[in-house]
Structure formats: structure tokens, C-alpha cells
Amino acid sequence: MSIYDFSIAIDAMGGDNSPDKVIEGLSFYLREDDRIFFNIFGDEDLIKKSISRFKIQNNLYKIFHCSTYIQDKDSVRNSIKIGKDTSMWRAIDSVKKNESGLIISSGNTGALLVISKLILKMIDEIDKPALAGLWPNHKGTSIVLDLGANIEFSEKNYIDFSRIGAELYNVLFKKEKPNVGLLNVGSEEIKGHEELKNAFNALNKLKTSFNFNGYLEGNQIKDGDFDVIVTDGFSGNISLKTAEGSVNFINKEIKKIFSSSIYGKLCYLFSYFIFKSIKKNLDPRKYNGGIFLGLNAPVIKSHGGADSLAFYYSVKLGVKILKGNLIEKIKKSLNND
Amino acid sequence: MSIYDFSIAIDAMGGDNSPDKVIEGLSFYLREDDRIFFNIFGDEDLIKKSISRFKIQNNLYKIFHCSTYIQDKDSVRNSIKIGKDTSMWRAIDSVKKNESGLIISSGNTGALLVISKLILKMIDEIDKPALAGLWPNHKGTSIVLDLGANIEFSEKNYIDFSRIGAELYNVLFKKEKPNVGLLNVGSEEIKGHEELKNAFNALNKLKTSFNFNGYLEGNQIKDGDFDVIVTDGFSGNISLKTAEGSVNFINKEIKKIFSSSIYGKLCYLFSYFIFKSIKKNLDPRKYNGGIFLGLNAPVIKSHGGADSLAFYYSVKLGVKILKGNLIEKIKKSLNND
């Protein structure tokens, strides 16, 4: 028996400032927990330099040198063509070979999704993968899916993703029967697509391992009454990006006014510690890490532009998912309901 | 020739605190401009009481007593059944009869849309109405449509709404060739529905009265590089509501931290005038008023929960639309392109 609880495959390339931010993120994590082993894929020289800089004990990782990597600008088609020698491909492959329990990458999202599907394959009962994200709300955190893995959506997808999302919530937040809702628009008479309405009716009748709480609207996402929010990938992606843009807008407007006068600047200085604590509370890095679900192993996408602390949070998320035995729970839930 | 520039039909009932907030809103407007005449529909007693309270000169309005009105909880079907005697129906009908140039209501959105369509009819070339809204951005204001009038969307709808939105922008902000974009999701390989892609290709080829700037993502809405943002009603409504929810979330989190300690409360007091000016800058009431477009006359929906100042802004919006001769411009644009 290994002295490690789990092994995680790390695609150290791709995204901004890789592999430095990746390795530093791992070093943050290993300070808290040295029972995780990392299989690190990428340019060996660069990775070694990073490791000597951020000081990781050499019994906690193994480097797999890869001659190339998929860049953000590469098309999915091209990524598959250059595939097999890239850090992303080989990292995913190590999960397939059971050498790692999951893979984390901050590289090209589209390539990660397609190559993961190609190598790891879908869980038998599920026909599409979902990209799930963690969103802060007034009461804690909710899980929102799909954030953009699929554009076209069927009734079955809504139902599958409700189940998958509920299992993920259960694993991350230890709630037996999470509240699940379908994202919809307001007024009764123009409510939802046919597929969405059919899913609503089906979920109302199904015996499920979660509480189906019906529809919610976009302005209710942050209330915290729904633990799991299910939507199609198009609307989910637009909702995600709109939230991001709105928060940036408010931040910039507030900054503009505080910095537009001497009185404002004084107020800012006076309230410095308050702003610091607001920034800490709302730090988006805590919620870094989208999870591709529906495959035979978890795949975590760290934000390409995120830094080392954000990467650390995505590692933490990965460990929770492995400890909670998510994939087995999803498979059981699909067979039981 | 009338001494008034325009007449506007006002549904004084429906929404919170009506008719008081409606009448007070009109009184705010008439302090600035007494060349607009209001045909006010609703409960005569209540309206008279409001008018004596908020003091409107009696040559600036006429009251049309209506025995009933459509409530927010009424279904669209029921609204049509009780229809003809309601304040909303008769206000819309006065536009049909050319007694008013447009109608403003803070009542039931679904009923307003359906009854307006029934009475005013669509412009010949357009098969669906859009709900357009004004959104603040870093550089000013953009117009976003459709915010929820339609769930199903065709290639033609995207193109029509681009034209309609561009004309509205031109009328409100005097820009000859506004920048128009289609809202889409990010990564290349999963980009958009077929209808959206077809619209993109068609708009790239069409000779239009606006600049077609291609796709944008949800996080770019607030940048201000796109004057007109076109999306399907489902995604548009979710984007609108998500933005609303996100802004509320940030506001509450900031308040929570400022009020959680004595130091925080002191900071708030010290910065009182800064917060006041932030609140003023970001006041959502300035952007009150969704516009149903594509009908033979403009229909303005004031937010049901909005107050008198918000209603004033929707009146101001209505007058701009009438002065700019929006409907004629839309018809011309549809025939010219």
C-alpha cells in the first residue's frame, strides 16, 4: 500500500506563467498535506527550475518530460493532431492508466474537454459532459452546471446534470439531500424551452437522492436557496461571464469614485483594512477550478489567467473530490434512481 | 395643431404603489417639460387623489376611468378575458386609435406584451417583438435585446433585432453607426447555435446602417465597446437577472463588512458622501424602462417594483423615442437594407 492517499496528474504547461504558478500552487498545497503525490507533465527543465525555486520535497512528485504542449491559441483539431506528446494528453492518459486519480490543467479548455472525452470516455449512462463551477452566495457556495461544455441540451441532460451536480455538492459540502433547481426565465407564459419543461416535469416525478426545488431565475442564484443550479451550457456560460463582468463593473466604479477626489482618497486610506477584508471575502481565486463531469474520471480546469493561489484552490478541490469518491457516487446514483 | 408635442398613454394601475408612484413620476417629468400630454387610464378616484397630492396642472392630462385592471398574478389568458375594460387594454387601444404616441405601464409584463401584440400588431417585416433594455457600461449605456420576449429564436430574429436595436440606439444617443454585437459563448469549438452562426455570417455580408462588430461574451457587455447587444430572450433574461443578482450580492457583502465592526461603521460614516455619490452613479432607476420593439408603436414597461423616480425615467425615455420618430426609422431601415 502506498504511503500516499492519492496521486494527481498535473499538466504543468498552458495558461499564463506556467509552469511557475502551477508549481508554486502545488507547494502551497503540500505545506498543508503531504499525503498527495503529484505526477507532473511538461518541460522538465522549466519544471525543475520552478521546483528548486518553490522547494518541493522530491518524494512528493515525479516529472514526466513532454516535448511539447497545447497552447491556448491551438484549435481543438490541431491539439488532437499534436496530441500524444503534449503535457495535457499524457497527464490525462496517466488517469486512464490508473496512475493518477484525476487531472488538473490550466491549459486550453476546448482541447482539455475533447481530449479528456477521447481518452477517459463518458460514463455509460451519460451522453454529454458538463462543466461545473463553484459560485459564492449569501449562505455559502452553490454548484452551477453546465457552464459551457454543451450548447445543445436535451431533457435527459438536465436530469443527468441534476444528479451529477447533487453528488458533487454532497461530496464537497457533506449535505445528504442538496436543493437542486433549473435555471429559467421569469414570466409564466414564456417559461422555458420544451426540453426544460419536460425535465421539470420528469424531475418532479422521479425519486431522486436530492430535493428538486423547481425553477429559479438568474437573480436568485446568489440567494443560496439552491445548492445546485442546472442550466444549458449556452445560458450557463453567459450567466457566468455576465456575473464576472458585473462584479468588475461595480469594482471599477467604486474605485473611480474613491480616487476622484482627495477626500475620496482619504476615505480609502481610512477604510484600508475594511477594503482589504472585502477583497479577501470576495476573492474569486477561492472558487477557481471548473470540473468536467460525466467522464470516467474527474478533470479539473484551472482558470488560464489565474495565479498560484488559485491553482492551490483547484488542487484542494481535486483532493476533496478524490476523498469523496465522486465518480463511484455518480455511477451509483445513476443506477439507483 | 395641438400645443402639445406628444400625447402619451399611461396605464396608472399595476405594479407596487400604483397609481401614486405613477402620478408622482409624471409630476416629476412635467416640472421639466410641459409640452407632453398624458392620457391616464385607471381608477378615477384613486388617480384624482394622487393628482391632488402631487399637483399636476389640469390642462396636462385627461383621466379615463377604467373599472378594472390586470394584476401581476393574472395569467395572460385571464388578462385577455377581462381585457377590454382594464386600464392596460384601454391605454394600449388609445395608441392604436392615434390618441397617444406610445404607452407606458408598470403592470403585468406578459399581459402587456400579448395585449400590445394583439392590438398594435407587428410591423409587417418583423415576426417577433423584442424586449430591449438600457444597461450602464464603462463608457455610457448600451442597449441589450431580447431580454425575455421570446424563447425560440431564428436567424432572422437576430438580424431584425440588430436593426431595431441600432435604430433605438441612434434615436436615444444620436450615433449614426452604432456598434452591434451578438452575444455568444467563448471557446471557438463550441461557439453558438446554428441560428446564431448563420446570423453572424449574414450580418457580415449585409449592407447595414450600423457597424456589425461580431461576437462578444458576457464579460464584455460592460466594457462599452458594443452599443447594441443582441441575444435570444432566454439568455438575455438570464444575463439581466444574473447581473442584478451579482450587483446585489456585492452590495450586501460590502455592507456586511462595513457594519460588522465599530471601525467599519466609523469608516462608513467618514466616507458617507463617497457612498452617496456611488449610489447615485449606479442608481438602477436611471435605466428603468424596458421597450417592446417590433410593434407598430413603442410600448414601455416600467419595472413593477420601481418607484416614482424610476417611472419618471421611463417617461423621459418615452419622450425621447417619440421625438426621435423611432418607429418610422425602424420601418425605413427594414425596407432599405
Q: Look up the CATH number of the domain holding residue A181.
A: 3.40.718.10
Query: Among residues B301, B293, B289, which one has the least CA distance to residue B123?
Result: B293
Model ipTM value? 0.90
* Dihedral class, residue B296 (left if φ above 0, else alpha if ψ from -120 to 50, else beta): alpha
Alpha carbon of B153: minimum distance to chain A alpha carbons (Å): 11
Q: Which amino acid is at A27?
A: S
Does the residue B207 lie in any domain?
Answer: yes
Task: Answer yes or no: do B241 and A234 touch at CB < 8 A.
Answer: no
Do A72 and A42 share a domain, yes or no? yes
Q: A246, A251, A262: which to substitute to probe chain B, counting the most B Cβ within 10 Å?
A: A246
Task: Answer yes or no: do A150 and B254 touch at CB < 8 A.
Answer: no
The whole-number pLDDT of residue B337 equals: 56
Do A90 and A188 share a domain, yes or no? no
Do A252 and A138 share a domain, yes or no? yes
Do B86 and B177 share a domain, yes or no? no
Q: B249, B260, B263: which to substitute to probe chain A, counting the most A Cβ within 10 Å?
A: B249
Do A37 and A160 share a domain, yes or no? no
Interface residue A75 vs chain B (CB under 8 A): yes
| pTM of the predicted model as reported, rounded to 2 decimal places | 0.92
Q: Closest partner residue to A219 among B110, B152, B244, by Cβ?
A: B244
What does the pLDDT average to over B313-333? Answer: 95
Contacts A218 to B, Cβ<8 Å: 237-245
Task: Answer yes or no: do B241 and A114 touch at CB < 8 A.
Answer: no
What is the DSSP track for A262-321? HHHHHHHHHTHHHHHHHHHHT-GGGG--EEEESBSS-EEE--TT--HHHHHHHHHHHHHH
pLDDT band for position A337 (cuts 50, 70, 90): low
Residue A190 has pLDDT above 90, yes or no: no
Task: Answer yes or no: do B110 and A190 touch at CB < 8 A.
Answer: yes
**pLDDT tens-digit profile of B215-257?**
999 999 999 999 999 999 999 999 999 999 999 999 898 999 9
Nearest CA in chain A to B261: A274
Question: Number of Cβ pairs closer than 8 Å across A and B?
Answer: 203
Does the residue B326 lie in any domain?
Answer: no
The whole-number pLDDT of residue B152 equals: 84
Does the residue B157 lie in any domain?
Answer: yes
Residue A189 has pLDDT above 60, yes or no: no
Interface residue A237 vs chain B (CB under 8 A): yes
The whole-number pLDDT of residue B186 equals: 74
Q: Would you say A144 and A133 are in contact if contact means Cβ atoms under 8 Å apart?
A: yes
Least confident of A185-194, B35-44, B170-179: A185-194
| Sheet strands side by side (includes B179-183) | B61-65, B36-42, B6-11, B102-105, B299-301, B290-293, B130-137, B140-145, B228-230, B179-183, B211-216
How far CA B27 is from CA of A179, B36, B311, in Å, comes to 47, 11, 10
Task: Answer yes or no: do A218 and B245 touch at CB < 8 A.
Answer: yes
Cβ neighbours around B31 below 10 Å, total: 11
Query: Among residues A24, A11, A8, which one has the least CA distance to residue A285?
Result: A24
Does the residue B327 lie in any domain?
Answer: no
Task: Answer yes or no: do A258 and B264 touch at CB < 8 A.
Answer: no
pLDDT band for position A102 (cuts 50, 70, 90): very high
The whole-number pLDDT of residue B2 equals: 72
The whole-number pLDDT of residue A188 equals: 54
Do A142 and A86 share a domain, yes or no? no
How far CA B282 is from CA of A237, A296, B239, B277, in Å, comes to 25, 47, 18, 9
Cα angle B316-B319-B320, degrees, rounded to a multiple of 5:
90
Q: How many C-alpha atoms does A130 have within 13 Å on its Cβ side?
A: 29
What does the pLDDT average to over A242-265? Answer: 91
Domain end position, chosen among B248, B270, B288: B288
Do A143 and A60 share a domain, yes or no? no
Do B313 and B212 share a domain, yes or no? no
Does the residue B335 lie in any domain?
Answer: no
Chain A 135-174, residues with CB within 8 Å of chain B CB atoms:
136-138, 148-152
* Structural domain count of chain A: 2
pLDDT band for position A20 (cuts 50, 70, 90): very high
Query: Among residues B213, B218, B210, which one has the least CA distance to residue B166?
Result: B210
For residue B42, the surrounding DSSP H or E stretch is strand B36-42
Domain with B100 in it: 1-122+294-320
Do B187 and B54 share a domain, yes or no? no
The whole-number pLDDT of residue B148 equals: 87
pLDDT band for position A292 (cuts 50, 70, 90): very high
Does the residue A309 lie in any domain?
Answer: no
Contacts A241 to B, Cβ<8 Å: 185-186, 217-220
Does the residue A70 lie in any domain?
Answer: yes
Interface residue A254 vs chain B (CB under 8 A): yes
How is residue B181 annotated by DSSP? Answer: E
Do B193 and B105 share a domain, yes or no? no
For residue A215, the surrounding DSSP H or E stretch is strand A211-216
Q: Closest partner residue to B250 among A186, A218, A247, by Cβ?
A: A247
pLDDT band for position B107 (cuts 50, 70, 90): very high
What is the DSSP track for B185-226? -S-GGG---HHHHHHHHHHHHS--SSEEEEEE-GGGGGGSS-
Do B118 and B227 share a domain, yes or no? no
The whole-number pLDDT of residue A289 equals: 85
Does the residue A333 lie in any domain?
Answer: no
Do B95 and B152 share a domain, yes or no? no
Q: What is the total residue count of chain A?
A: 337
Residue A186 has pLDDT above 80, yes or no: no
How many Å apart are CA B187 and CA A116, to the nearest integer?
A: 16
Task: Answer yes or no: do A281 and B253 touch at CB < 8 A.
Answer: yes
pLDDT band for position B192 (cuts 50, 70, 90): confident
pLDDT band for position B188 (cuts 50, 70, 90): low
